Structure 1
Amino acid sequence: MGPIVLLALSWTLMCLVAGCTEGNASSAPSDPAATNTAASGGSDGLDQAVAAIGGTSITRQQLIDRLLANYGAQTLRTLMLRIAVEQEAADQGIEVTEDDIAAELRRMSQGYDSEDQFYDSMREQLGMSPEEVRGDVVYRLKLEQLAILPVKVSDEEISRYIEEHEEEFGPRTELRISHIAVPNSELAKRILGKLEAGEEFKSLAMEYSTDEFTSDAGGDLGWVQTNDPFVAPEVIQTAENLEIGQSAGPIETENGIELIQLTGKNVVQAMDSEEARKQAHRELALGNSISLSDLENQLLAKYGAQILDSSLKS
């Protein structure tokens, strides 16, 4: 998600600068201290206040300066890479089709209840619109295609890979599980009594679970596949037999005692043969190609990337 965050920041910077000439920035109380620390914007709007707190205003220029100081070098590199990859892909005759984009977005949104929930999550966590997520997908797919361009993969290798990774390409069930980890059976039974009395699983997980990584989220383990090696098999086997919303336990695992609740169930259909072979080719080729970061560095050098402002050099 690193590149997608930096792209969001680049859009923020451009929107901030563009906003200077639109005259839409609302005025806030002027403060001499803030004005003195802001770079002079003159009539272009850079000295306009974009926020105020405690009688002190923050100007557009101050905000841009802080963003540039903290993220400018990384964001500038991302923008240069976008240009270099576009030029190289055009030179090599590489195109990303609508089917390619749709398939990648489907892959990225696996584990979410819906595509809309996936986009909502991208907006909430990263501030990215669906169009910006799509733009990042196009960039990444073109970069990958450039990386694997010289790599040869035989039909036999593809067939063998699909056979050896059947769980990746065949139909599979995903479960969304929440759990409460407890130190002893006595506490587990007491919590079960509270559940039977109508108390919420999420609240009890936040109060009693010893799993510090999930307790704040109400014990949510997220979406897991039925062969997930990081979730106790006893937990998965029990969850498979539950209806959504049902709880069960105590379950003894090698990590201790757990109570669980099934909060979601999703059956992922098998890939069709053509899509499976295309994905297998991609995985095999990427495994034998130059790393994407090395390729990015090579493209920056090939197209003569220069940072003309010394303050933006990483």
Structure 2
Amino acid sequence: MRKVIPVLVSIIAMLTLAACNNSSASSNSKVVASTKNGEVNKEEFYNKLVSEHGDKVLKDMVYEEVLSEKFSVSDKKVQTKLDKMKEQYGDKFQSVLKQNGFADEAQFKEVIRSSMLKQKAATQGVSVKDEEIKQYYENMKKEFKASHILVKDKKTADEVLKKLENGEEFAKLAKEYSTDKKSANNGGKLGGYTSTGKMVLPFEKAAYNLKVGEVSDPVKTKHGYHVIKVTDKRDKEDTSSIGKFKDMKDQLRQELLNRQANPDNITEIMKNAGVEIKIEELKDQISFEPKSSASK
């Protein structure tokens, strides 16, 4: 349920905000609520919506306006996504919708469509081969222990590799070079056993391809360059939650696509869309840059 709630305010406020925004100036004085102590008119209501929800609502609307020109999501795919959620919640689905303020399934389907548009944009240019899916499925049944040395550039990673080839100890070099101080202080060890979905995908792929005791070539991720050493591998004791490959194939394909999604794709599209915020109060509040970029 927690995943549904964040979009709730947006869609309800979006519909109301749009209706208010389309009203003429003279109709803004129309009363939308009255009490013994006074009245609330459209203009007051609109201003309140702008100040409390305006940045989120308007941003979502602009995203959909721009992305729907470049990408399409079929009604069939939206319905399939909805059907899966219905299956997940069972008899409680309709009550979940009502609890979150959705008048009907049609409203909720628009939220699904918007999410899928962003997903398509972020995964533009990414492809997943059948053999990758099969390997990913097999990896789900196994787990590994690993150590790593994380550095900022390939030149440094190559330097670390050369020292390892010359016989220097992995743990010593981890303490000397690794920018991941938590693991560095433990000789590069990353803790206990781990498996699919726990590490960034390039790290995970490299680790599964290594034999116990082997060291990888430099592996580039969003964190930097990793030199990885696998220290143990084993089959998972419990694989009961893993279904048959034929039943999971489509799900795993989408999971691999999502794990390779690039938010910069969306940022670039929005930069080229000529977006101009016309509401003065919101100009400084709305940005289409990824949050992470602000901290870099």
Q: CA deviation at 1:51?
A: 1.5
Residues 204-283 of structure 1 mapped to structure 2, 5 A cutoff: 273=246, 276-283=248-255
Distance in 2 (alpha carbons) for counterparts of 1:310 and 1:137:
30
Instruction: Return the alpha-carbon distance in structure 1 between the equivalents of residues 51 and 277 of structure 2.
Output: 15
Verify the 8 A CA contact 2:121 2:266 in the aligned structure 1.
Answer: no
C-alpha displacement of 1:50: 1.7
CA contact (8 A) 2:8 2:100 kept: no
Structure 1: gaps (5+ residues): 22-40, 90-94, 167-267
1:310 aligned partner: 280
Q: Distance in 2 between matches of 1:156 and 1:145?
A: 22
Q: 1: distance between equivalents of 2:103 and 2:257?
A: 30
Q: Distance in 1 between the 2:11 and 2:41 partners?
A: 23
Whether contact under 8 Å (1:96, 1:141) holds in the other structure is yes
In structure 1, the residue matched to 2:184 is none
Residue of 11, 17, 22 corresponding to 2:15: 11
Q: Does the C-alpha gap of structure 1 residues 87 and 98 become closer, same or farther in structure 2, counting only changes over 3 Å? A: closer
Partner of 1:57: 39
Superposed counterparts of 1:89-238, under 5 Å: 89=71, 95-114=72-91, 117-165=92-140
Write the distance in 2 (CA, Å) between the matches of 1:165 and 1:100. Answer: 27
Cα gap change, 1:45 to 1:310, in 2 (>3 Å): closer
Partner of 1:84: 66
What percentage of residue pairs aligned between the two structures are identical? 17
Amino acid at match of 2:271: A
The aligned amino acid for 1:161 is Y
* Equivalent position SS for 2:100: helix
- Distance of 1:74 and 1:103 partners within structure 2: 27
CA distance in 1 between counterparts of 2:80 and 2:60 reads: 24
Q: Unaligned regions of 5+ residues in structure 2, if any? A: 142-240, 286-296
Distance 1:130 1:312 in 2: 30
Alignment match, 1:285: 257
Letter matched to residue 156 of structure 1: E
Task: Work out the CA distance in 1 between the residues paired with 2:74 and 2:31.
Answer: 44
Kindly provide the amino acid, as one letter, of the partner of residue 51 in structure 2.
A
Cα distance per residue 1:57-80 (max 9 Å; x no partner): 111211111111111122111111
Q: TM-score, normalised by structure 1?
A: 0.50
- Counterparts of 1:278 and 1:111 in 2: how far apart (Å)? 17
CA gap of 1:295–1:124, structure 2 versus 1, over 3 A, is farther
Q: Distance in 1 between the 2:30 and 2:75 partners?
A: 42
Mapped contact 2:64–2:117 kept (Cα < 8 A): no
Query: Structure 1 residues 295, 120: closer, same or farther in 2, change over 3 A?
Result: farther
- Which runs of structure 1 show a deviation greater than 6 angstroms over 4 or more consecutive aligned residues? none
User: Contact 1:84 / 1:300 at 8 angstroms: preserved in 2?
Assistant: yes
Contact in 1 for aligned 2:102/2:108 (Cα 8 Å): no
**How many residues are paired up?**
181
Q: Match for 2:63: what amino acid?
A: L
Q: Give how far 1:134 is off.
A: 0.8
